[in-house]
């Protein structure tokens, strides 16, 4: 996410950090690099102009230029301005005082509207709110089937009717059902189009008028850049939106839509889609995203992901094993499965300060392939071998290699890495840090 923009912004700031005391010429050079980075990231020109003007005004003040930590202050200024254009603070879903809260999703075909409806329901389910999905996209029967399949996979109910029934009747019946069965949230997947037309807008205005949703959210593809802004402006002017959901953010290396859309439309971004999994949707935090754009990580989001993914009781059990040097391959496999629930390794590394740049050196998909290989090897072992890998001899290695579709060399490498990790955890459990690691932890 924002790989290109992050790389160019951090490069511009690193140039400043190599200098001693800063002067006006240094700052103007840095602003020129930032301007190029933003424009190449497809950020709206008006947004870039305003963004740079605000940074220039604050960065050229006497207090900054005369400061001993001028570079740190400029990073702080850039971070604050990024937060400002992203929306200042988090905009939450507004819940109805009397349930159910009706959320109506609108958008063009291909933006991920139906997938996002299922993801939202899963998000509310994790918060222990009962959701009802409504398949109101009768123009595209495949959308109804997709929502029903997603609902079954996630164990979330879907209200569907014959495609000959009008979307309005389907929505009214669904809301009535939600009231009877005490659902907290109703998420309506409305009809999409390949393009914006008068008929589409007329239908949506009619639905909004009759249903009166608490939230009317536009689902828009972040990878479409400036087109995303044009689409949002058109929808907002015709039907009046309450917010936005940006999808496919994990594939948006530039970031132009996210950095422009709030300033231009004045609509808050409520959620972002970060992958294909049902759990790959996150509330939008402007301050956290600004931190990630500047390569400073996002530990708060990482902690929240971990809390949702990890079994807390099992974590305590593993911690005790580590302290007693009893950590084995069974525990290692469990840890791998927990981490997989949090997203790809690249996404996790982007959230850890200091590892953002390192994450870019890992080819897409390569870490998943390596994890699958490790899983296959461990799963091909007997329970006794997982708990006591020292018993794995040549005969056992050949059997494990055959069962996992790998080689004896792959198994030796995994075991060597595991033994090294075992030694390290034993040392660190006693409060000691090996000299070889001290430099990395400074």
For residues 379 and 324, what is the distance between their CA atoms, to the nearest angstrom? 24
CATH number, domain 101-293, options 3.20.20.60, 3.90.1150.10, 3.40.50.2000, 3.40.50.300: 3.40.50.300
pTM, full prediction: 0.70
Closest CA to 99 of 204, 216, 177: 177
Q: What is the DSSP string of 363-396?
A: PTTHHHHHHHHHHHHHHTS-HHHHH-GGG--HHH
Distances from the Cα of 216 to the Cα of 99, 187, 213, angstroms = 16, 10, 6
CATH 3.30.230.70 is right for the domain spanning 302-441: no
Beta strand pairing call for 243-247 and 101-106: unpaired
For residues 153 and 275, what is the distance between their CA atoms, to the nearest angstrom? 17
The helix/strand/coil state of 148 is: helix
For residues 112 and 117, what is the distance between their CA atoms, to the nearest angstrom? 9
For residues 372 and 404, what is the distance between their CA atoms, to the nearest angstrom? 10
Beta strand pairing call for 281-283 and 269-273: antiparallel
Write down the residue that tokens 């790959």 correspond to.
280
For residues 304 and 290, what is the distance between their CA atoms, to the nearest angstrom? 18
Length of the chain: 442
Strand ranges inside 281-354, DSSP E: 281-283
Q: What is the dihedral of CA 207, 211, 212, 217, to 10 degrees?
A: -60
For residues 52 and 74, what is the distance between their CA atoms, to the nearest angstrom? 12
| CA angle 100–106–108, rounded 5-degree value | 160
For residues 69 and 299, what is the distance between their CA atoms, to the nearest angstrom? 24
Write down the residue that tokens 């392939």 correspond to.
369
For residues 428 and 413, what is the distance between their CA atoms, to the nearest angstrom? 23
Q: pLDDT per position in the chain (442 positions), as tens?
A: 677 788 888 888 877 777 767 788 888 888 998 899 888 888 889 999 999 999 998 888 867 776 667 777 888 888 889 999 998 888 899 999 999 999 999 999 888 999 999 999 999 998 889 999 999 998 887 889 999 999 999 999 999 999 889 999 999 999 999 999 999 999 999 988 888 888 889 999 999 999 999 999 999 998 888 888 999 999 999 999 999 999 988 776 677 888 889 989 999 999 999 888 888 898 998 888 888 788 765 555 555 665 665 566 666 666 676 666 667 888 777 777 776 666 666 666 565 554 455 455 445 555 667 778 888 999 999 999 998 898 999 999 999 999 999 999 999 988 887 887 677 666 555 554 444 434 333 3
DSSP state of 92: P
Domain residue ranges of the chain, discontinuous segments joined by +: 3-85, 101-293, 302-441
| CA angle 358–223–191, rounded 5-degree value | 140
Determine if residue 295 is left, alpha or beta; phi over 0 gives left, psi from -120 to 50 gives alpha, anything else beta: left
Q: What is the DSSP string of 12-32?
A: HHHHHHTSSS--HHHHHHHHH
Record the tokens describing residue 335, joined without a space: 């840890």
Residues 6+ apart with CB under 8 A from 167: 136, 137, 138, 190, 191, 203, 207
Is residue 284 within 8 A of residue 312, CB to CB? The reply is no
CATH 1.20.120.140 is right for the domain spanning 3-85: yes
């Amino acid at each position: 996410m924002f790989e290109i923009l992050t790389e160019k912004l951090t490069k511009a700031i690193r140039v400043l950090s190599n200098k001693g005391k800063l002067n006006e010429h240094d700052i103007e050079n840095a602003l020129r690099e930032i301007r190029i980075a933003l424009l190449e990231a497809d950020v709206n020109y008006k947004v870039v102009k305003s963004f740079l003007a605000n940074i220039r005004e604050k960065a050229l003040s006497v207090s900054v230029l005369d400061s001993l930590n001028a570079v740190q202050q400029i990073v702080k200024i850039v971070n604050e301005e990024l937060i400002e254009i992203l929306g200042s603070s988090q905009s939450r879903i507004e819940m109805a005082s009397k349930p159910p809260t009706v959320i109506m999703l609108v958008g063009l075909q291909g933006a991920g509207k139906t997938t996002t409806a299922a993801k939202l329901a899963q998000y509310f389910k994790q918060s222990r709110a009962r959701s009802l999905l409504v398949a109101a996209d009768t123009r595209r029967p495949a959308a109804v089937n997709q929502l029903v399949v997603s609902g079954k996979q996630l164990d979330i109910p879907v209200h569907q009717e014959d495609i000959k029934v009008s979307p309005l009747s389907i929505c009214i019946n669904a809301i009535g059902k939600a009231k009877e069965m005490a659902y907290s949230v109703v998420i309506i997947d409305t009809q999409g189009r390949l393009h914006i037309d008068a008929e589409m807008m007329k239908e949506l205005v009619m639905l909004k008028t009759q249903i009166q949703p608490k939230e009317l959210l536009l689902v828009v593809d972040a990878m479409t850049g400036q087109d995303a802004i044009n689409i949002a402006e058109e929808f907002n002017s015709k039907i009046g939106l309450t917010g936005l959901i940006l999808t496919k953010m994990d594939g948006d290396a530039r970031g132009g839509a996210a950095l422009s859309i709030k300033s231009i439309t004045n609509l808050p971004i409520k959620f972002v889609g970060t992958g294909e999994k049902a759990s790959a949707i996150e509330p939008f935090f402007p301050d956290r995203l600004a931190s990630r754009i500047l390569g400073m990580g996002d530990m708060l989001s990482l902690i929240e992901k971990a809390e949702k993914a990890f079994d807390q009781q099992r974590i305590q059990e593993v911690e005790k094993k580590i302290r007693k040097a009893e950590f084995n391959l069974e525990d290692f496999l469990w840890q791998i499965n927990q981490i997989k629930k949090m997203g790809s390794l690249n996404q996790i590394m982007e959230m850890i300060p200091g590892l953002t740049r390192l994450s870019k050196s890992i080819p897409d998909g390569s870490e998943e392939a390596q994890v699958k290989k490790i899983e296959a090897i461990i799963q091909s072992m007997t329970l006794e071998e997982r708990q006591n890998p020292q018993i794995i001899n040549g005969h056992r290695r050949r059997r494990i290699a055959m069962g996992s579709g790998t080689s004896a060399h792959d198994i030796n490498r995994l075991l060597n890495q595991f033994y090294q990790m075992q030694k390290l955890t034993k040392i660190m459990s006693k409060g000691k840090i090996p000299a070889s690691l001290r430099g990395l932890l400074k």
